[in-house]
Structure 1
Amino acid sequence: MKFWQRLIILCGSAFFTLFVYLMVSEESTWEDAHIKKARLVQSRLWPKKPNESFVLHKNQEMCNLQSWEQSQSRISTFDVYQRTEFNMNSDGSYEMATPPPDYPNNSENELDHLDVIIVPHSHNDPGWLKTVEEYYVDQTKHILTNMVNKLFEHPNMTFIWTETVFFSMWWNELDDDVKVHVRRLIRRGQLEIVLGGWVMPDEATTHYVSVIDQLLEGHQWLWENLGVKPKNSWSIDPFGYSGTMPYIWKKAGMENMVIQRVHQAVKNTLAETKSLEFWWRQMWDAKGSSDILCHVMPYMLYNIKFTCGPNRFHCLLFDFRHITNEASESRAKSINVNNIEQLATYLYEQYRKKSYLYKYNTILVPLGDDFRYDMEIEWDQQYINYQRLMDYMNNRKDWKINVRFGTLKDYFKVANKKNKKNILKHPNNGFPVLSGDFFPYSDQENAYWTGYYTTRPFDKTFSRDLQANIQAADILNTLAYAHLKKWGMNYREQFFQFSTLLLKARRALGLFLHHDAITGTAKEFVVVDYEQKLAEAYNNTQIIMKTAIQILASSGKLMTPLVFRPETIRPAHNEEPQKKVFKLVNTNVRVMLFNPLPQYRQEVVQFLVDSSMVIVKNEKFQIVPCQVNPIWQDQTTVSPSVFEVTFVVTLPPFGIVPFMLFKAEHLDLNNVFPSRISIYNRDELNVPKNVKFYIQRPEPKPVQPIVLENEHMRIEFDATKGMMTSVLDIETGNKTDISMEYFAYKSQGSGAYIFYPSPTDNTKVIYDIPVIRKISGPIYSKLEVAFNHYLKYSVTLYHVPTLQAQGIHIENHVDIRPLKDREFVMRFKTSIDNRDGSYFTDQNGFQLIRRKTNPNLRIEANYYPMTSMAMLEDRAQRFSILSAQSHGVAGLENGWLEVMLDRQLTYDDHRGLGEPVEDNKPVTSNFVLLLENRRGPNKHQNSHYALPSLLSVATNDFLQQPVVKYYSTIDSDIFHKTVSPVSLPLPCDISVVTFRSLATANFVHNGTSLILHRRGYDCDFPDVGLQCSVDNQQFSLQTLLKKFPISSIRETTLTHLYEKRKIDAKNTIEIPPMEIAAYHINW
């Protein structure tokens, strides 16, 4: 080959290489230029940055809240757990403080008079081994019917009842004369309704919003039908106790409470100082206004075997139920003249030994068990034999004892009387004050009930979705009612329909809060029954929302036919939600977006469409910039027929805003921005020819880290594993190591309740190299990591100036059905130095409490419930995980936080369920990570509670109450306007817990319930991106309700049973930090 030929070939190769380089470079430059242009478009939409529009002067009282450190309580459960010795007896039970073996016979001091209140009860689970309906028909109906007959037959016998769900089912079947008898028993004090919520809720996995809702439902039913206002709480079966519930019970008007399932070793620590009765105070409460008297049962269970005293074998002598051919542990024989002295002595000794654990020689002796008293004969057996024992014991003057039947009201009346008498003599020796909670729970043999924090996550997520739906439906229903009344239009028919549907929905959710439902600890067929009820409730709320949106959007001009449909549906009770794909090829689509928050929100929203040639317009018919993203047919192939369109919206408080989606004739590159697609660990990327995306060459063996970046942070990922490795703060230049990993614990016998992993075998369950897809655009960028088995997750970073841009958004799709005996975990290892293993978890979405890993205990003993938030911090930084659903969490090493995502269990853990948990379903979980810099040194590192930043408060609101999306293909200008019903937004720290219309039993409007919560926040963190104000602690309800025809407003207790004061809508109201306030409004 001649020289000039070689030269031509060489030049040609060089030119080709340069051309390819320039093409790739030009593509990148094109996209960067359009990202900048998109930001200009958005800055035109929002000429002011969010913070410039709102006053962000911090509330001084809120900031001072942190300086209190913690309430002036003598006992903190944080300290109790740290000093508890977890010693065990030879039978596997924990050691319990006990009097000397010969007590009381050889007591050194003269014995005081002993009062014994025997409380007959029957614990009725609304679903566990049977469905709620099966339990009612088989047992509960008979228990309640027998109760009426036998309490009239035995006038000095008593009974307590808790679950309103069962009582209402029974009540609906009663004749009027029986109802009269029931009310008479209540007036006479023989029957006491205790707690009175729809159910006895779980306290680890429930959100305080839904707990209040079911309590309100139960209390309103009781007041209307029985004239009852519960004063005492009875919560004996939840598997551990939250510090939030005492606050809720107290705010609802209750004065005393009884609990049972506290860690037996912790009970021992409390019993050593006679502290099993205490004033339970909130950690942030400096004044003691939240105090409620709590009685802790001392022994392992609430059945007769464990309630008379420490000797369970002696206690079994006093369970007199005997049903032919029924298996029983009871060793009881009928009391007669021949055995009464010996048996009464046994019982007296047990009562005295039990009283040794309490301060005032007054003991509570529950007499019952699960579904007891379903047979008439048991009422007679228990009553007759105990009456004989009482008569004998009370006549033994040398015993100084008075035994009688009673209710909780009777017990606490005696206990409080003795406490007041003692305080007069010894002012500093009354009931102690305790703050904190009682998690985790263990009954025996180091068996920790920490697995149920995560068990059946599909249903936990389902219930949280329904909670959000009910809140939104309540608000829309109330707004529609108020507006139609203002417009002079008849709403009676719709109100009747809506009230019926909402009643069913909230009762279904209330039922699911039961401590064997949301916990995932029921039989599989019972779980299906719960899911079906949740699905029906979910659908009912959607009927209400679409009707109310149509009424409000049309100003009442178009009530029927209904033209709106939900964008997200649940096709079946056991399937995840599905999003509608809008068919733009044939028609335009109008979407209506409802904001269930009382503040403005700027947020990125997404929809699925059938064309990438899309245009979005707002109510003024202005084109809204949007980003178009791919939907994947498989790991490397882009769908030719389904796309995601995403754009930014601004929604007013409680507002409804319309948008229009059109199919475009051509791609408008000034307003529509196809995303750029990158793929790693694969050598192919299949994009249909007729689809316009910007494609980066596949990298089958990437070397450099993958990066997501916005103006606030830069996130690096390992390019082979797709796992996060670090986050760089753009403003400060500080880099924080955040190593993300997924793994599974191997079970050693875990069950629905109990978490019991192998301490050394943390199983790697993901072996394959994932396909990693990066989607980049002007609105957001996303990294999608897909494994062949078990897991697909994504990390999203937003670029637009909204609150969402401050966080790292993680979505997990987990399917562990192929695994056996594995408990799947997401873990973050950070460089944050949180000192001694301390971190914080939230309690029911209401408050944060300090946790500390105990290295002397196993992994399962160091797991805690997270309802919506967990965090760890050092002097300079805070790392928070915000969660849209409940999980178990742990911080096993400094700088670590892990979240359990799902559990596949082939063992029964021998706590009564009798079956494993193998009905796993694919489940999606959503989280937001926040990495925040403290503006000054952390002055509160020793506090036992913490406050979230305002940023995390607002971000969590977005998670818990998402934008509600409805659509219509009917093209009518009647809907093309924004509905803005609220005069001014509420401050950032105020949330609307409830804004719902109340109804009588006949579904007549009975006023509106408005419940507000002023959330606490930490003042030491910046507030970048906030879209609300916090300048004033005082505000008037006119701020929220100016546009409505208000007749009267009353401030009440939480469930509206007690009136505190009448208020004028124009007058300012003051809600102290952390407090909840309730109002009853008449239009």
Structure 2
Amino acid sequence: MSKMPIYLPQLLFLAIFLFYSVGKECGATPLKNLESRESSKTCGYQACSKPSQNKLNIHLIPHTHDDVGWLKTVDQYYWGGRPLIAKAGVQYILDSVIHELLEDPNRRFIYVETAYLWKWWSYQSDRVKTDVRRLIDEGRLEIISGAWSMNDEAVTHYQSIIDQFTWGFRRLNDTFGSCARPHVGWQIDPFGHSREQASLFAQMGFDGLFFGRLDYQDKRNRMDKKTAEMIWKGSDSLGNKADLFTSVLFNTYSPPPGFCFDILCADEPIIDDPQSPDYNVDRRVAQLLVFAETQQSFYRTNNIIMTMGDDFNYQSAELWYKNLDKLIRYANERHGSTVNVFYSTPSCYLKAVNEQALSWPTKSDDFFPYASDPHTYWSGYYSSRPTIKFYERMGNNYLQVSKQLSALTNISTSETYLNPYREAMGVLQHHDAITGTEKQQVAQDYARILSEAMKGGEQILSDALGSLISTRNQRRSRDGADVHFYTCYQLNISSCPHTEENNNFVLTLYNPQSRVVSTFVRIPVTGNSYVVRDFTGASIVTQIIPIPPEVLAIPGRESSAINELVFRARNVPAFGYQAYYVTKSNKNIERVRNESFTEATIQNEFFNVSITDDGSTCALRTIRSGVTNMRIAQSFHYYESSQGNNEEFENRSSGAYIFRPKNATPKNLTNVGSHQIYTGPLVQEIHMKINEWISQIVRLYTGENYIEYDWLVGPIPVDDKIGKEIITRYSSNLATGNVFYTDSNGREMLRREKNFRPTWALQLAEPVAGNYYPITAKITIKDRINKLRISVLNDRAQGGTSLNEGQVELMLHRRILNDDAFGVGEALNEIAYGKGLVVRGRHQIVTGTNLDRSSSILMEKQMAWNLLNPPCILVSPAGRRTFEEWRNHHRMQGSGLTKQLPPNVRILTLEPWKDGGLLFRLEHMFEIGEDTRYSHPVEINIKDLFLPFTVTNARETTLGGNQWLNESERLRWVSESNEVHRERENVRVVDTGLIDDANEVINVLLHPMEIRTFLIEISI
């Protein structure tokens, strides 16, 4: 069973169950015609059997959990390849289930992963497709969740989560219509659950959420108090709009012990021949009912949900259904006066519980970190495989650019390359992909899938930008007709062949943000001097910085670049591009200062940073009052990984999932290296070599109110046979009182407190791992006395915490020599080019006070978004064309927007949809009460927002773009405070019908933290 302990013996199960059970349309036709084919269908809640009011209703849920890659690649799991690794073939599951559903109209099945369903669908005959549509229309085959994959909730960003649900919904709606529109979340396997995920589900129109994994102490507490079902308040800002009924599954997602009837199982079948010496009906029914009664005792209604399935079950569905048919028949025949056993779905269970009209407890925090026993905290995967976490971020950045440029230019190549890119990014969100909890060969296949998709994205970028920059002169001349825009995918290791091999080239920056951006550009070059001219022809200030030897020596780096060219790109237009003409010269103007540790200092208008005697860094900021100094010291350390046999809790090893340091105090790293200082008009840098396998660059950019730490870790040495988990610490003089704040999937911030959980009395046997949380975008500490704040922004998801007063700790890299025994069967010991993996990344340190609260919080949000969606750098060789010739034939600046948006609003999504329409999302960036200036509603006219086209009609959908918002009716729930949970109505909404072209406005009102999704029609 995936990521979970083996079943306990049945006789012991009920005694210690609570301790062990936690382990691992906007539719087929254009939206305006969506209603036409739906009236005769009996899917959804209409297809549910009516439960009994006076009996125990046992909802049997046939299901399979199909990881989109884990021990095998996506293709291997689908086709059934590599059977010696795992006997799993998704194609056989779907074939077999459809056949068995057609045999009996009482049978039900649920399916989740659209990635597999779509792949299977593409190979089916018309007859099979007709049968499947009928099963869906009759509610016998129910699609739940509906995303491309079952995403992780800790290390995924909300933009990517929304995207992969939207694309899964789109495929379902286009193929099956409204009966395939999911309205229940089914997150049974992710290793902890985020509040933002619940909020997103609610905004998608979901009625409820089911999940399997939560902290073993939390589960025991909830079972004892009958609070395993609750109203999860997904957002303090969105109110009831983000509330979601949530149910914790009793047995994670497995069948009761002894009742697995799959070919992968060894449980006893139901033998109903009275003449057989193995006849067992009475005994087996009695066993099931004992389990059912035990389960029901922990819940509030006379309905229970029994998951009948597991990982890659139902490859021979006849085994399952034949035995379940017998269980249902004999249980009802023998015990029909007290129990009602029947095939059901999570939706039908939800409906039955809702009809009880009870009041429910509420929860407003999240379910991190997840522990399955006292020594097993699943907080290691927050940092596992840091390179794939960064690669996914790159993939998202280029996907947003590809979608925007496709929408702005309507190029013919868009659909060819865009759909595979959407699907690849959906695969990467899977809870064994971006998490780093897959086998090494699967991680490599994930990288292959994304790499191939990004190549298609590059073609979109080149075609679209070629269209945007073309002029009449270019169309008349062959001189500019062969322009191609190349992407530098290896800037993280200071490598780009197109800037290294050409003496004259044009850098085009495309800005995917809906605000004007000024940014420092760094590109690898071979020379010592370059002239950079902007679109006006003016030469701009540049600086050359040597690439550190440690970067030059990264295994696998094949580059001739020895320097980086730095310049400031000012005011790159929103949703637009700006080009710079670069020429190599022979002039050498760079100076290098070498300093001893005691003399090493760099400074700008906001900070000075020096190296202390022990080789760590110390930053000092003088607050504007001139009274208070803020001190920040940065250093590297490592935890030794526990190495055990995993047979007892106390012998658990660190691994891909689990973080379990051998000691609570990390090892200090003795600085035996050297450093150099480089100064210039744009940036001051300290290049530090800490030891043979850790180095970093500390940067202060002129005019920028942050410190950048560019760290390089690896190969982590393991010759001593000890696994190591590398951290960096930022220690300050702030009085924080054991409180810190972390983001939830890159969106709202949550309060954390050391050694504390808001909903139960925590007993903590792992003082480090039990205080680690996922940091997707930002971690913040605040001073209680002087009202100072420090935030650390990261370029990929990492685990982090604050274990000591005024301190932030983030895990950078892990190299572990033991497996943690949760199924992967491999140690997390990544090798690249014959050596341990080398990882390079960035942190940006932002500080603020109550005096500059509005500006500092706004800056943090903009910087975090800039780390997620920075301007893309594209290179075009200029050959012998001079600047004047280039400018004569190509536009060097352009924007997709006609006006600047308010600073607290951004465009989250713009992409081609259907029938010439576009999918468009706006979001409010601020929470209620977060800021006196920006935490207020704002209204925007979108009719004339875009330069290439005019919006002629906008109709609002739910967040996933698959249902009209005014037709979405969610179930209503009542909390124990007697508050009825309904959707909050917008004060003003755009019209839901056609907008007269004579009307000059289409206004959209955004409340704090609100995301509004529209399908828009345009005229060019």
Asked if Structure 1 and Structure 2 have the same fold, meaning a TM-score greater than 0.5 normalized by the shorter chain, the answer is: yes
Residue 434 in 1 paired to residue 363 in 2? yes
1:529 pairs with one of 414, 430, 445: 445
Supply the distance in 1 between the matched residues of 2:71 and 2:656 (Cα, whole angstroms). 13
Contact 1:934 1:1021 in 2 (8 A): no
The residue number in structure 1 matching 2:812 is 901
1:712 pairs with one of 606, 622, 641: 606
The residue number in structure 1 matching 2:779 is 870
Contact 1:535 1:570 in 2 (8 A): no
Contact 2:186 2:210 in 1 (8 A): yes
Contact 1:547 1:562 in 2 (8 A): no
Contact 2:100 2:318 in 1 (8 A): no
Contact 1:162 1:196 in 2 (8 A): yes
2:863 pairs with one of 955, 959, 962: 955
**Which piece of structure 1 moves more, 823-832 or 915-924?**
915-924
Contact 1:604 1:647 in 2 (8 A): yes
Residue 1012 in 1 paired to residue 929 in 2? no
The residue number in structure 1 matching 2:873 is 965
Supply the distance in 2 between the matched residues of 1:196 and 1:782 (Cα, whole angstroms). 48
Other structure's SS at 1:834 match: coil
Contact 1:738 1:831 in 2 (8 A): yes
CA gap of 1:955–1:480, structure 2 versus 1, over 3 A, is same
Residue 813 in 1 paired to residue 712 in 2? yes
Other structure's SS at 2:867 match: helix
Supply the distance in 1 between the matched residues of 2:848 and 2:241 (Cα, whole angstroms). 33
Structure 1 residue 634 displacement after superposition: 7.0
The residue number in structure 2 matching 1:122 is 64
Residue 470 in 1 paired to residue 399 in 2? yes
Other structure's SS at 1:1038 match: coil
1:756 pairs with one of 651, 660, 669: 660
The 5 A counterparts of 1:83-162 are 94=19, 113-138=55-80, 139-162=89-112
Q: 1:619-640, CA deviations, whole angstroms, 9 ceiling, x for partnerless residues?
A: 2212222223333457999x99
Q: Structure 1: where are the runs of 5+ without partners?
A: 1-87, 98-110, 306-314, 423-429, 482-490, 668-690, 939-946, 1000-1004, 1024-1028
Contact 1:986 1:1039 in 2 (8 A): no
The residue number in structure 1 matching 2:30 is none
Supply the distance in 2 between the matched residues of 1:1022 and 1:825 (Cα, whole angstroms). 36
The residue number in structure 2 matching 1:1036 is 941
Structure 1 residue 1030 displacement after superposition: 9.1
CA gap of 1:884–1:1020, structure 2 versus 1, over 3 A, is same
The residue number in structure 2 matching 1:649 is 570
Cα-Cα RMSD: 3.0
Supply the distance in 1 between the matched residues of 2:231 and 2:389 (Cα, whole angstroms). 32
Contact 1:1051 1:1063 in 2 (8 A): no
Other structure's SS at 2:191 match: coil
* Aligned residue type for 1:975: H
Contact 2:59 2:345 in 1 (8 A): yes
The 5 A counterparts of 1:9-20 are none
The residue number in structure 1 matching 2:679 is 776
1:737 pairs with one of 622, 631, 643: 631
Residue 252 in 1 paired to residue 204 in 2? yes
The residue number in structure 1 matching 2:458 is 542
The residue number in structure 1 matching 2:217 is 265
Q: 1:830-876, CA deviations, whole angstroms, 9 ceiling, x for partnerless residues?
A: 111112x1111111101111111118622111111010111110231
The residue number in structure 1 matching 2:983 is none
2:911 pairs with one of 985, 989, 996: 996
Structure 1 residue 695 displacement after superposition: 4.2
Contact 1:635 1:786 in 2 (8 A): no
Supply the distance in 2 between the matched residues of 1:640 and 1:348 (Cα, whole angstroms). 71
Supply the distance in 2 between the matched residues of 1:911 and 1:567 (Cα, whole angstroms). 39
Structure 1 residue 607 displacement after superposition: 2.6
Structure 1 residue 561 displacement after superposition: 5.2
CA gap of 1:692–1:736, structure 2 versus 1, over 3 A, is same
Structure 1 residue 563 displacement after superposition: 1.7
The residue number in structure 2 matching 1:444 is 373
Supply the distance in 1 between the matched residues of 2:743 and 2:807 (Cα, whole angstroms). 17
CA gap of 1:695–1:199, structure 2 versus 1, over 3 A, is closer
Other structure's SS at 1:949 match: helix
* Aligned residue type for 1:661: V
Supply the distance in 2 between the matched residues of 1:128 and 1:961 (Cα, whole angstroms). 28
CA gap of 1:641–1:1043, structure 2 versus 1, over 3 A, is closer
Q: 1:91-122, CA deviations, whole angstroms, 9 ceiling, x for partnerless residues?
A: 7973899xxxxxxxxxxxxx953211110001
Contact 1:612 1:692 in 2 (8 A): yes
* Aligned residue type for 1:845: G
CA gap of 1:779–1:642, structure 2 versus 1, over 3 A, is closer
Residue 402 in 1 paired to residue 340 in 2? yes
Q: Structure 2: where are the runs of 5+ without partners?
A: 1-12, 23-52, 81-88, 554-559, 643-652, 757-762, 832-836, 966-991
Residue 1075 in 1 paired to residue 979 in 2? no
Supply the distance in 2 between the matched residues of 1:640 and 1:523 (Cα, whole angstroms). 34
Supply the distance in 2 between the matched residues of 1:551 and 1:985 (Cα, whole angstroms). 24
* Aligned residue type for 1:744: Y
CA gap of 1:278–1:1030, structure 2 versus 1, over 3 A, is closer
Structure 1 residue 602 displacement after superposition: 1.7
1:163 pairs with one of 90, 109, 113: 113
Q: 1:552-582, CA deviations, whole angstroms, 9 ceiling, x for partnerless residues?
A: 11158659955233351359xxx95733463
* Aligned residue type for 1:715: V
Residue 617 in 1 paired to residue 511 in 2? no
The residue number in structure 1 matching 2:35 is none
The residue number in structure 2 matching 1:349 is 290
Contact 2:592 2:679 in 1 (8 A): no
Q: Is the radius of gyration larger for structure 1 or structure 2?
A: 1
Supply the distance in 2 between the matched residues of 1:335 and 1:724 (Cα, whole angstroms). 76
Other structure's SS at 1:200 match: coil
Structure 1 residue 294 displacement after superposition: 1.1
CA gap of 1:635–1:976, structure 2 versus 1, over 3 A, is closer
Structure 1 residue 478 displacement after superposition: 1.0
* Aligned residue type for 2:65: H
Structure 1 residue 192 displacement after superposition: 0.5
Residue 824 in 1 paired to residue 740 in 2? no
The residue number in structure 1 matching 2:648 is none
Structure 1 residue 786 displacement after superposition: 1.7
Identity score, percent: 26
Other structure's SS at 1:288 match: helix
The residue number in structure 2 matching 1:32 is none
* Aligned residue type for 1:1078: T
CA gap of 1:580–1:92, structure 2 versus 1, over 3 A, is farther
Supply the distance in 1 between the matched residues of 2:931 and 2:844 (Cα, whole angstroms). 17
Structure 1 residue 231 displacement after superposition: 1.1
CA gap of 1:642–1:890, structure 2 versus 1, over 3 A, is closer
Structure 1 residue 470 displacement after superposition: 0.4
CA gap of 1:711–1:461, structure 2 versus 1, over 3 A, is same
* Aligned residue type for 2:305: L
Contact 2:597 2:615 in 1 (8 A): no
The TM-score with structure 2 as length reference comes to 0.82
Supply the distance in 2 between the matched residues of 1:457 and 1:753 (Cα, whole angstroms). 13
The residue number in structure 1 matching 2:326 is 385
1:746 pairs with one of 640, 645, 652: 640
Supply the distance in 2 between the matched residues of 1:655 and 1:739 (Cα, whole angstroms). 39
CA gap of 1:773–1:1012, structure 2 versus 1, over 3 A, is same
* Aligned residue type for 1:600: V
1:222 pairs with one of 172, 175, 186: 172
Other structure's SS at 1:115 match: strand
Structure 1 residue 320 displacement after superposition: 3.3
Structure 1 residue 733 displacement after superposition: 4.3
Contact 2:500 2:524 in 1 (8 A): no
Supply the distance in 2 between the matched residues of 1:854 and 1:760 (Cα, whole angstroms). 13
**Which piece of structure 1 moves more, 335-344 or 984-993?**
335-344
The residue number in structure 2 matching 1:693 is 590
The residue number in structure 2 matching 1:103 is none
The TM-score with structure 1 as length reference comes to 0.78
Contact 1:242 1:843 in 2 (8 A): yes
* Aligned residue type for 1:389: Y
Other structure's SS at 2:951 match: coil
Contact 1:628 1:646 in 2 (8 A): no
CA gap of 1:231–1:416, structure 2 versus 1, over 3 A, is same
Structure 1 residue 377 displacement after superposition: 3.6
Supply the distance in 2 between the matched residues of 1:603 and 1:896 (Cα, whole angstroms). 29
